[in-house]
Chains A and B, each alone.
Chain A
Amino acid sequence: MGNNILTPTNLFSKGGVTTSVATTITTGVTPDTKTAWTQLVASTSYDMNVMELFITITNGANSLLLDIGIGAAASEVVVVNNILAAGASQVGHVLRLPLFIPAGTRVSARAQGAMASEQIRVSFTGWFENTAPNGAITETYGADTSDSGGTLIDPGASSNTKGAWTELTAATTVPLKYLILCVGHNEDTTRATGGRFVDIGFGAGGSEVVLVPDIALISSSGTDNVTPLFCGAFAVDVPTGTRLAVRASASFNTSTDREFDVTLIGVTA
């Protein structure tokens, strides 16, 4: 086990050292198709159970789905799939994953974009936290690989009133200890400024129970983003077979401005 200290630079990608930007992941010439893996680090220096991803959207306007993988070249195994990384303009955000990765692990990333040759920059730092769980399997719910986005959430026609629940998964396949909400701008580059409150819920359709209430988001006509892009990780206790859904309210009800898209990342203990 490593020490309970931050170990930043030796876990950064090589690309970040000389150019002050993280490793560039470019989506393929075919939209909505994952590219080859790009290495972020050849060998992690310590065990880590917290992985903090720094994700920079460089040219904006489109949604991307990012995979993080581990293992030797050409034998990568996905540990986090379809991270919704969307930005209508240049934006940088941090995604903290409670995920255990042992020392000596090669870490890579790949992505797909709604348009060809989109770029995203990715680096990470990791550390071992004695009080943190060693998160293992992650599952992503609500990703739409056909358009590199998430699941559309419509707050509905009444402003400041929670809209309908939209299902992200009919049944979880592993017990979850953490949930992370990933937020997209639904590729709308003419956003109105306004607030939103998001609920994550569980249970059968029509009988949902709020699990995480009132996650505050804001959209900006200046940047056209809906932020924060990542919310959580929320500590939960969701058993296998649970239906998960999301609903939201918005401070305005314009039918062409209120909607946005989301995914959920679930992490086991």
Chain B
Amino acid sequence: MAFYAIYQASDGGLVSLTSVNPTNLRAGLVVLELQAKPADNAMWDASTRTFIPRPAKRVVDLLQVFAGDDTLQTILAKLTAQERQTLANRVLFIAGGKRYVTAQTALDMGIPANRISAALVDKPNGK
């Protein structure tokens, strides 16, 4: 279904998103017809007057911190590949949505800065 982005001609600022074909718009507004409603991982860019991909969020993957810990690596090396995978699955299950934290949160948790930088990943946006 077509969607319409209404923006200000002067500065490109997005005013409204609608599925109803706009008519009788006030002066100074411009309509951009879209093939579909913009995806959740898109955002309006006033400079180009179009939707662009939303930048990925850089977060710390605690599973990578866990797997990269020197002491834990010694222990993990004693496990079979299947046991390591089982352990990883359980850690992921327990961590749930808390697998990813911000760099500041990781610092607050006491994770060394070098481990944080090594575990930075792009988190998929939104849903």
Contacts and interface: CB of A to CB of B under 8 A. Distances in A.
B86 interface: no
B34 interface: no
A62 B97 contact: yes
Interface string A31-72: 000000000000000000000000000011111000000000
A164 B55 CA distance: 19
A166 interface: yes
A206 B97 contact: no
Nearest to A86: B127
Interface residues of B, number: 36
Interface extent on A, as a size class? 35 or more
B54 A205 contact: no
A88 interface: yes
Nearest to A63: B127
Interface stretch (B14-22, B65-73, B75-83, B109-117): B14-22
Interface in A144-166: 144, 147-149, 152, 154, 156-157, 163-166
B88 interface: no
Interface in A217-269: 221, 224, 243, 245, 255-257, 259, 261
Contacts of A245: 16-18
Contact of B97 (A157, A189, A207): A189
Contacts of B102: 190, 192, 221
30 contacts: A59-B96, A60-B96, A63-B127, A156-B14, A157-B46, A164-B15, A164-B17, A165-B16, A166-B16, A167-B18, A167-B19, A170-B18, A170-B20, A186-B40, A187-B127, A189-B97, A190-B59, A190-B105, A192-B102, A205-B6, A205-B16, A206-B26, A207-B25, A208-B16, A221-B105, A243-B20, A256-B57, A256-B125, A259-B126, A261-B40
